[in-house]
Structure 1
Amino acid sequence: MAGQGPDTSYRKPPRDRGCCSINFLKYVLFIFNFIFLLGGCAVLGVAIWTLLEKQPYTVLLRTGLYAAIPFLLLLAGIIVIFAALLACCAILREDRCYLLVYTFLLLLVFLLEAGGGVMAYVYEEQVMDSLSRSLTSTFNGGYMEDPEVTKAVDSMQKEYHCCGAQIFSEWQDSTWMKKNQSLNVTVPDSCCKTPSPYCGVRDHPSNIWYTGCIHQFKDELSRQLLILGAVGCGICLIQIFGMILSCCLYVKLKDVDDNYY
């Protein structure tokens, strides 16, 4: 009509306009979130397995780095489960506040997994030097003095079929030997091929293991660190894609909310 000015109102942009529409981003983010949850469960599983299977041997290491890595991945896995549930709420409700929190959690999980993975690879390069310096003194000084060390040493010698840190004869210089000279034992009973009370009196190769534990322990530790590193560094890359998707959806929702009449 004459006398009326131009219509300066802005209509709400269609939700399905363009290849990056809100609905499209919601579907893709939902699919990503499912993959993200599966990856988090994998990280959680590896961390729990490491803690249950290998954690008892950490008392034989002078550094707490190896013990910290699975705890980092365990924390990351727990956060993933919470973040995945939060993402479902954010997608269904189209809540920008939830999306921001979800993006922050993705970043936190990325840092935890990447940090754990990098620490695993770095420590894997240093593991032999660390074991060479610490394992002999831990065996010789802590056996029968520290209950946790004693349990770990006995378990390791039985599991790996080994005796002593570097070689079986190292037990002759140990604190345990000095306190048990009257028993005429040469090595702990856990060194025997068929462990039984006082079987360590004979150090013949038909009776005890001659190989030191450091070699098999180092190989096992290296394999475990490589698994932790691969899981941490590999799965953390998924979070980058998720952060991009959540940011895009946040911007799209903001444009819609800002363009009412």
Structure 2
Amino acid sequence: MGVEGGMKCVKFLLFIFNFVFWLCGLALIIVGILVQVTLHKNVMIKDAAASAIPIVIVVVGVVIFFIAFFGCCGAWKENYCMVTTFVVLLSVIIIVEIGAAIAGYIYRGKVTAIVQTSLSDMISKYNTTAEVAQAVDNMQKDLKCCGANNSTDWGKYMPDGNSVPDTCCVNITKDCGHGTMTDAIKVYQKGCNSAVELLLKKNIQWIIVAALIIAFLQIMGIVFSCMLMRGIRSGYEVM
């Protein structure tokens, strides 16, 4: 009876952990989408590498979502094959996550370079492409910044060399940016490069928290699954 009760406890713990794991997969999907939307809403990035991290997060979230559902069913039905498959798939996910973490660490400096290049490119095309102009204006209004590195990046915006788009202004009004490039009272002097990096760091903090929670749940899921598999294989009743 002691073993039976213990296996029954393991069964329900595995079910609960998988349910929470399922919720974490859903959370990862949401976080990945938010990071992707936030990044591309503010910066028109052409380099596909910049989208790699949020896309990987979404993909892992989707896979975890379905694997956790599979694990819940296996635990509830006490099906040895389903639980074994769950352990194998979960182990593969852990390996993929480790690889993604290593790749993210290796290429962490590339994101800054990509953002810098993209912002400079957007500013150079501001007067020629309406879509780019709209993206830059939205970015400067939302992040309260001006130019890529600072307001002087708008030196070629107007013939006078001393004007910036109105969206650089602290208080946005028509023609507020004319002749006020270096006026810190009227125009934001902070560049959008640092503002975008700060935005990314805030999102990354949420990603790290989610990753730590999911890593814990994954390890616990494998431990409880192996215990349940042993109980099922030994022929104990765990209903």
TM-score by length of structure 2 reads: 0.77
Q: Aligned partners of 1:148 and 1:20: how far apart in 2?
A: 64
**1:156 counterpart residue number:** 139
Q: Which amino acid aligns with 2:198?
A: D
Aligned equivalent of 2:189? 210
Match of 1:68 among 52, 73, 76: 52
Q: Contact conserved, 1:136 with 1:166, CA < 8 A, in 2?
A: no
2:149 counterpart SS class: coil
For residues 168 and 234 of structure 2, the distance between their equivalents in structure 1, rounded to whole angstroms, comes to: 71
- Corresponding residue of 2:216: 237
In structure 1, distance between residues paired with 2:202 and 2:64: 25
Q: Does the CA contact (< 8 Å) of 1:110 and 1:237 recur in 2?
A: no
Structure 1: runs of 5 or more not aligned: 1-15
1:29 corresponds to which of 11, 14, 29: 14
Matched, 1:85 2:69: yes
Aligned length: 234
Mapped to 1, the partners of 2:76 and 2:167 lie a distance apart of: 59
Question: Compared with structure 1, are the counterparts of its residues 112 and 229 closer, same or farther at alpha carbon in structure 2 (3 Å cutoff)?
Answer: farther
* Residue number in structure 2 paired with 1:38: 23
**What do you get for the CA RMSD once the two structures are aligned?**
3.3
Deviations 1:39-80 (Å, cap 9, x if unpaired)?
A: 3233233223323433323524x6434422222222222233
- C-alpha contact 1:73 1:116 (8 A) present in aligned 2: no
CA distance in 2, matches of 1:118, 1:82: 25
Q: CA distance change for structure 1 residues 216 and 58 in 2, over 3 Å: closer, same or farther?
A: closer
Task: Tell me: CA distance 1:234–1:119, structure 2 relative to 1, closer, same or farther (3 Å).
Answer: farther
Compute the TM-score of the two structures, normalised by the length of structure 1.
0.72
| Structure 2: gaps (5+ residues) | none
Identity between Structure 1 and Structure 2 (%): 26
Q: Secondary structure at the match of 2:164?
A: coil
Out of 243-252 and 119-128, give the one that drifted further.
119-128
Cα deviation, 1:96-139, whole Å, max 9, x if unaligned, reads 2222332233234434544555555555555545545x255323
Q: 1:235 to 1:117 in 2, by over 3 A?
A: farther
Structure 1 stretches of 4+ with a deviation exceeding 6 A read: none
